[in-house]
Structure 1
Amino acid sequence: MRLSIALLSALLWFSFLTEITASAAKTEALPLGFSAAELPQQEEPESPQFLLLQPDFIADVQEATRLLYNQEFDASAELLASWFAQERARPVAALWDALPLWWLILSDLEAEAHDAAFIEKMELSIRSADLTLRRERQNLDALVVKTIAHGFLARLYANRGAWYRSLVHGRQAINLLNGVGQLQPDLPDLQFGEGLYSYFTAFFHEQYRLVRVISWMVPAGDMEEGLALLRNAAEESAFMVPEAVYFLAHIWLHYENDPETAEVYLNRLMAEYPQNLFFNRLMLRSYYQQSRFQEALQFSGQALERAVAQSDTAAKEEIYTLRGLIYYRMGQLGQAEQYLRKTLELAPALEKGEVRVQQLRARYQLGRLYERLGRTREAEEQFRFIVNLRTDSPVRQQARRHLR
C-alpha cells in the first residue's frame, strides 16, 4: 500500500507539470475556480507577460532539463542564469535550485540525508511564489511553482511513509491545479498524466484489496489504455517525453516483468542521458533479468566507471551486487565472492548500513555461495548476521530457514 500512495503522489506531481506547461501557447492564467468558458475571449498578447509563456524561455528550459537529467547540474543552472537574474523569475529560480537535490534523493531513496535541505528549498519556493501572488493573484509562473513544489513535497513524504503530510501537500497542489489545469486539454503532453493515472490506478485496483475498498476515492483506469497514452506522450509531447520514456521503461521492467520491452525505452534514455546513473542501473537490471550476463558484465564495467567518477556510492553498491549475482549464476564463485564482499564493504559509507536492500541481498547470496562451496560455518555466519538485524525485509525470514 505504501508503494501505491507513493506512486499516486508521483502521478500528482507529474500531471501538474504536464497540465500547467500546456498553457504556454495561447491562454492567459485564469482566476482560481474559473474555467476558460466563463471568461471573455482575449487576443494573445504579442509579448507574453509570464516566463512560462515565452518561447525562448521554454526552449531554454527544455535544454536545461536535458542537462539536468544528464547530471550536468552546473551547466543546467548556467543556461538559465540570465533568466533567473530577473526579478519576476524568483519563484521559478527558487524551484529550479532544488532540483539537483531531488536527483540526489532519487539516486538513493533509502537515504534521507538530503531530505531536510530539499524540503527547505521547496518551502522557500512556495514562499517566493506567495510573495508574487500577493501582488498579482493570477501570476501563472508563481501558480505553477507553488503547485509543483507542493507536488514534490507530497511525493517525498509519501516515500518516507509520512502519509498525513503527503496528503496535506497533495491536496494543496490539487486545489491550485484546479485554477490552471483546464487549459488546452487536447495537447499531447496531457496524455502523460492521463496515462500514468490510467495504468497505475488499474494496476493497484487489480493487485490490492484495500484499493478496491476505497475505489470511490480513486476510480480505476485501464492498464492497456494507460500504456497507449504513455506511448503517445513519449512520441508527441513537447515537455514530457523523457518522463514518459522513463515510466514506460519502469512499468515494463518492474510491473509487467518484460525487460525486453523495457530495454527499448532504456536504450532511448541511455542515448540521451548516458551519465544518468539511475538510468544506468535500470539498464543493468534489464540485462540481468534477461540472463544476458556477458552484456551485463560489459555494461556494468562502464557504469562502474561513471559511478566512481561521480562518487555515487549507492550506484556502486548495486553494480557490485549485480556483478556478484551474475558471476554466481555463471558458476564463477571466486569472482562472485569478490564482488559480494565489495558490496558489504560499502555499508559503513551508506545510510542505513547493513539493512539496505542491496546489503541484505549481497549478504544472503554470499551465504548461499558458502553453502554451495561446503563452507558451512561461514554460511551460517552470514545467515545469522541477517537474522539478528532489525529489519522487516523478507530476506530475514529466508535467512532464518537456512539455520534450521
Structure 2
Amino acid sequence: MPALFRLLRLLSLLLLLSPVLQSYAQQTPADTTRRRGAGQNSAIRNVELSNVDVLPNTDTKGWLLLDKDIQLELDGAVQNLYNFKYDKAEKQFRSLRRRYPHHPMPYFLLGLSTWWKIMPTNFQTKQYDKIFYAYMDTANTYSEQLAKADPKNYEAYFFLSAANGFDARLNAERHNWRKATVSSKRSLNYLQKSREANGLSPEFLFGEALFNYYAVWIPENYPLLKPVLLFFPKGDKKLGLDQLRTVATNGFYTSVEAKVFLMRILHNEEHQTSAAFPVAQGLARKYPDNGYFERFYAYLCFDQAQFTECERVSRDILEKINTGMPGYEASSGRYASYFLGYLMQFKYKDLAKAKDFYQRCIVFAESNGETEGGFYLFANASLAKLADQANDKEAARRYYAVVVDKADHKSTQYKEAKAWLKKHK
C-alpha cells in the first residue's frame, strides 16, 4: 500500500508540465503512497509516448506560451516567483489576466504562485488550498474552450496536462485518492496530445523527459509494481536526463524546474551528489531568497564537506526565518539548525552552542510535525550523547527514549539508544 501511494505521487509529479513547475518536497519524500483500487490502473491506461520529437502542422498564432514578447514581459515575474517575491510576481500575472481574460496562462501562473506558498512548508499549510484549486479549475476551463475551438491547439493541451497534474499532486498530498486518480488520468491523456508539439519548444519536452526517466526508475525501485506499470510507456533514463538538460539550457518557463529535477534526481535517485552540487549552487545563488533552494544547497554542502559554505547558508536561513521572510519556515529551520549544531560540536568544539542548535532543530521539527526521522532523530541522538558525556543521565535517558520511540528498529540510532537505555535502567 505505501508503495502504491508513492506511485500515485510520482505519477502526479510526472504530469507537471507547467511554465514554472513545483520543486517538489524538501527532502526525499516518505514512502506514503496508497492505491485507490482499480482507479490506479485507469489513471495510466492507453498512454502511448515515443521519444521522437514532432513538428506538427498547426497554426501557433495566439499561443502565449511561444510569444517572445510575453516571455520578455514575464521574465521578471518568473524571477520574482522563484525568489519568493510573490506579490511582485502576482501583480504581473494579474496584468496579463486583464489583457487575456479568457486564456489559461494567467490563471495557471497565479495558481503556480499559490503552489509555491504551499510547497516550502512540506505541504503542511492548507490555507491556500481553495484558491489554488480555483485557479487551476479556471485554467482548465479556458484550456478546454481553446481545445474545443481548435483540436490542434497543443498549447491548450499543455495547460490541461499541467493544471490537472498539479491538482493531482496536491490531492495526493491531501490523501484525496479519488480526485488524485481522476486528475492523473486526465493529465496523462492531455500529455499524450501535448507532446505532439515537442518540436516547437523545449517547454513541451519537459514532461516527456520526466516520463522517460521515471518510467524506468519506478519499476527498478518498486519491482512489485511492474504489473501495474505494464500500462506505462517504455522509458529511457539516460534520454530523460539528456532531455532535462536540454530543457534546463534552452527552456524559458521550464528551465529552472528542469534544473530542480536534475538536482533532485542526481542526488536522490542517481546518488551522484557531486553532479547535483553545481546545479544546487547555481539555483541558490541566482535565487538567494528561495528557502527551498537554500536548504537543499546547504544540505549538499554538508554532504560534500563544504562546511564553511554550509555554515554561511545555514546562518542566512535562520536569519531570514527570524525576520519573517516569505518561504522561510520550520522545514528550512530544521535543516539549518541541525547543520550548525553539528558544526558547533565537531568543528568549533563549542558544546553549549551545539546543544542550543540541536534543541532548536527539535523545536522546528515538532512545530510542523516532522518528527519521524532525519534531523529530528539525529538531533535527539546527539543531545543524548552530549548529556551522557556531561553525566546528565536523566537528560540522556529522555533524548534516547525519543530515538527508541521514533527510529526504525533496524537503524544504528535505534540500536545505540536501546543499548544505552538497557544499560542505564
Q: Evaluate the alpha carbon distance shift between residue 210 and residue 387 of structure 1 in structure 2; reply closer, same or farther with a 3 A threshold.
A: same
**Which of the residues 2, 10, 15 maps onto 2:13?**
10
Contact preservation (8 Å) 1:92, 1:142: no
Matches within 5 A, 1:41-120: 44=59, 48-86=61-99, 88-89=101-102, 91-114=104-127, 116-120=129-133
Q: Evaluate the alpha carbon distance shift between residue 176 and residue 195 of structure 1 in structure 2; reply closer, same or farther with a 3 A threshold.
A: closer
Amino acid of the structure 2 residue aligned with 1:68: L
Does residue 377 of structure 1 match 2:394? yes
Q: Evaluate the alpha carbon distance shift between residue 220 and residue 308 of structure 1 in structure 2; reply closer, same or farther with a 3 A threshold.
A: farther
Pairwise CA distance, 1:347:
5.3
Q: Which moved more, 1:190-199 or 1:122-131?
A: 122-131
Amino acid of the structure 2 residue aligned with 1:341: Q
Q: Could you give the per-residue CA deviations for residues 266-312 of structure 1, whole angstroms, max 9, x where no partner exists?
A: 12212321111100001100111112223211222223223333162
Q: Could you give the per-residue CA deviations for residues 240-262 of structure 1, whole angstroms, max 9, x where no partner exists?
A: 21111111111222223332221
Q: Which moved more, 1:166-175 or 1:353-362?
A: 353-362
**Which of the residues 334, 359, 373 maps onto 1:317?**
334
Amino acid of the structure 2 residue aligned with 1:299: V
Alignment partners' CA distance in 2, 1:60 and 1:387: 55
Matches within 5 A, 1:338-349: 338-346=356-364
Amino acid of the structure 2 residue aligned with 1:10: L
Does residue 306 of structure 1 match 2:324? no
Amino acid of the structure 1 residue aligned with 2:8: I
Contact preservation (8 Å) 1:6, 1:158: yes
Pairwise CA distance, 1:171:
0.8
Alignment partners' CA distance in 1, 2:278 and 2:240: 18
**Which of the residues 197, 207, 212 maps onto 1:183?**
197
Does residue 266 of structure 1 match 2:280? yes
Provide the secondary structure at the position in 1 that maps to 2:226.
helix
Contact preservation (8 Å) 1:92, 1:141: no
Alignment partners' CA distance in 2, 1:224 and 1:203: 11
Amino acid of the structure 2 residue aligned with 1:271: R
Corresponding residue for 1:334?
352
RMSD of aligned Cα (Å): 3.4
Pairwise CA distance, 1:336:
1.5
**Which of the residues 243, 254, 262 maps onto 1:229?**
243
Alignment partners' CA distance in 2, 1:225 and 1:53: 24
Alignment partners' CA distance in 1, 2:125 and 2:384: 29
Corresponding residue for 1:207?
221
Does residue 278 of structure 1 match 2:308? no
Corresponding residue for 1:296?
310
Pairwise CA distance, 1:321:
1.8
Q: Could you give the per-residue CA deviations for residues 217-252 of structure 1, whole angstroms, max 9, x where no partner exists?
A: 235533333222222222223432111111111122
Q: Evaluate the alpha carbon distance shift between residue 87 and residue 57 of structure 1 in structure 2; reply closer, same or farther with a 3 A threshold.
A: closer
Alignment partners' CA distance in 2, 1:203 and 1:130: 31
Pairwise CA distance, 1:156:
1.6
Amino acid of the structure 1 residue aligned with 2:338: T
Q: Evaluate the alpha carbon distance shift between residue 224 and residue 124 of structure 1 in structure 2; reply closer, same or farther with a 3 A threshold.
A: closer
The sequence identity of aligned pairs, in percent, is 23
Amino acid of the structure 2 residue aligned with 1:223: K
Alignment partners' CA distance in 2, 1:59 and 1:393: 54
Amino acid of the structure 1 residue aligned with 2:187: A
Alignment partners' CA distance in 1, 2:173 and 2:409: 17
Does residue 129 of structure 1 match 2:142? yes
Contact preservation (8 Å) 1:95, 1:121: no
Normalising by structure 1, what TM-score? 0.79
Provide the secondary structure at the position in 2 that maps to 1:13.
coil
Pairwise CA distance, 1:201:
2.6
Contact preservation (8 Å) 1:50, 1:140: no
Q: Evaluate the alpha carbon distance shift between residue 199 and residue 363 of structure 1 in structure 2; reply closer, same or farther with a 3 A threshold.
A: same
Contact preservation (8 Å) 2:165, 2:183: yes
Q: Could you give the per-residue CA deviations for residues 357-390 of structure 1, whole angstroms, max 9, x where no partner exists?
A: 544442233223323444332111112245557x
Contact preservation (8 Å) 1:92, 1:125: no
Contact preservation (8 Å) 1:51, 1:89: no
Pairwise CA distance, 1:69:
0.7
Amino acid of the structure 1 residue aligned with 2:355: E
Q: Which moved more, 1:322-331 or 1:269-278?
A: 322-331
Unaligned runs of 5+ in 1: 19-39
Corresponding residue for 1:21?
none
Pairwise CA distance, 1:53:
4.7
Q: Could you give the per-residue CA deviations for residues 53-108 of structure 1, whole angstroms, max 9, x where no partner exists?
A: 53322332343222211111122122333321135346433322222321122112
Q: Evaluate the alpha carbon distance shift between residue 103 and residue 289 of structure 1 in structure 2; reply closer, same or farther with a 3 A threshold.
A: same
State the number of aligned residues.
377
